Amino acid sequence: MQCGGCGNTEKFYKSGSFRRSSDRRVIQRYKCVICGKSRSTATDKPDVHQNKRQLNEPLRKLLSSNISKRRAALVLSLSRTTVDRKCQYLAEQSALKFDAYWSEKGPVSSWQFDELQTIEHSKLKPLSVVMAVESKTRKIMGFEVSEMPATGHLARRSRLKYGPRRDLRKQGLENLLQTIQARSIASAQIRSDQCQFYQSSIRRYFKDAKYRQFKGEKATVCGQGELKKVFRDPLFGINHTFAMLRANINRLIRKTWCTTKDPCRLKDHLMIYAHFHNTELTPN
């Protein structure tokens, strides 16, 4: 505990208590001996100014269980504004816990990565989510959300309506590789599909790694098109994780009316799910 006035960290005395209205907990109050300013045991908590902090954990589980933000607001009797603010708070806390989890776990020796495509408001504005997972446990090591141009028969319509879109997928991949360098050993076994720019990026950040690329296979009916129709999928870890993302994050389902309006909010939602995935959905 540290006094906000004089910086004192040792000399305090008890100065009564109060019952917090949001969750009815009794909070002890202390007063600084030097400057006389008071503070409580809840002052330094990240949720200090929240009125409905008891709903943070239920909201975190709902957002990781195929429930949209609007439906979560209805279930928890909250306004959509409150849910949006809590999502940003939960994303910040999940990011801290996510980093702490990997600091404690230590570097891995085998991992896979690939890209998942989703949209920003319209199919004419696609987004790429590049993600890396540990091969055996399917623990998410990190991810990045990047802008990309529309392809195929939608490319011309996209340029006419929204103008040219930047392709930031390679930059997103390099940001991811830079982030997870400390979470992987230098000579790790790395697997991916045969995307053209993967090889150069991997060799830049993991020179001693045993890197293999595999040809993409036809998708099976189940798994939102992410699971592959082969007996032994060499990229099963990342494909299974992508199938779980599409099943558990409402905005990522292939046929849905819940779409991302802001890529930053998509990143927040992914961070909330990533920590939930690592700690509660996958084996230790």
| Model pLDDT, residue 18 | 86
Query: Do 22 and 123 fall within a single domain?
Result: no
Q: Is 56 within a domain?
A: no
Query: Do 35 and 143 fall within a single domain?
Result: no
| Model pLDDT, residue 188 | 96
Query: Do 116 and 245 fall within a single domain?
Result: yes
- Give dist(CA 190, CA 217) in Å, integer: 18
Whole-angstrom distance between the N-terminal and C-terminal Cα of the chain?
Answer: 34
Q: Is 61 within a domain?
A: no
| Model pLDDT, residue 110 | 97
Q: Is 116 within a domain?
A: yes
Listed range (11-15, 129-133, 204-208) with the worst mean pLDDT: 11-15
Query: Do 30 and 123 fall within a single domain?
Result: no
Q: Is 70 within a domain?
A: no
Q: Is 169 within a domain?
A: yes
| Model pLDDT, residue 245 | 96
Q: Is 93 within a domain?
A: no
pLDDT of residue 3 exceeding 80, the answer is no
pLDDT of residue 14 exceeding 90, the answer is no
Residue 242's pLDDT band, with cuts at 50, 70 and 90, is: very high
- Give dist(CA 49, CA 40) in Å, integer: 13
pLDDT of residue 57 exceeding 90, the answer is yes
Query: Do 213 and 113 fall within a single domain?
Result: yes
Q: Is 72 within a domain?
A: no
Among residues 177, 170, 131, which one has the least CA distance to residue 149?
170
Query: Do 31 and 156 fall within a single domain?
Result: no
Exposure pattern of 34-63 as b/e (b: 16+ CB <10 Å)?
A: eeeeebbebeeeeeeebeebebeeebbebb
Number of domains in the chain: 2
| Model pLDDT, residue 275 | 97
Residue 277's pLDDT band, with cuts at 50, 70 and 90, is: very high
pLDDT of residue 21 exceeding 90, the answer is no
Query: Do 28 and 165 fall within a single domain?
Result: no
Query: Do 110 and 40 fall within a single domain?
Result: no
Query: Do 176 and 253 fall within a single domain?
Result: yes
* Residues 6+ away with beta carbon under 8 Å from 221: none
Query: Do 16 and 136 fall within a single domain?
Result: no
| Model pLDDT, residue 44 | 81
Query: Do 267 and 134 fall within a single domain?
Result: yes
Looking at residue 120, which CATH number applies to its domain? Answer: 3.30.420
By percentage, how much of the chain surpasses pLDDT 70?
100
Query: Do 129 and 32 fall within a single domain?
Result: no
Give the residue numbers spanning the domain of 29. Answer: 12-45
Question: H-helix or E-strand containing 265?
Answer: helix 263-276
Residue 56's pLDDT band, with cuts at 50, 70 and 90, is: very high
Rounded average pLDDT over 155-180: 96
Q: Is 64 within a domain?
A: no
| Model pLDDT, residue 20 | 83
- With a threshold of 0.85, does the pTM exceed it? yes
Rounded average pLDDT over 185-212: 95
Mean pLDDT of the chain: 93
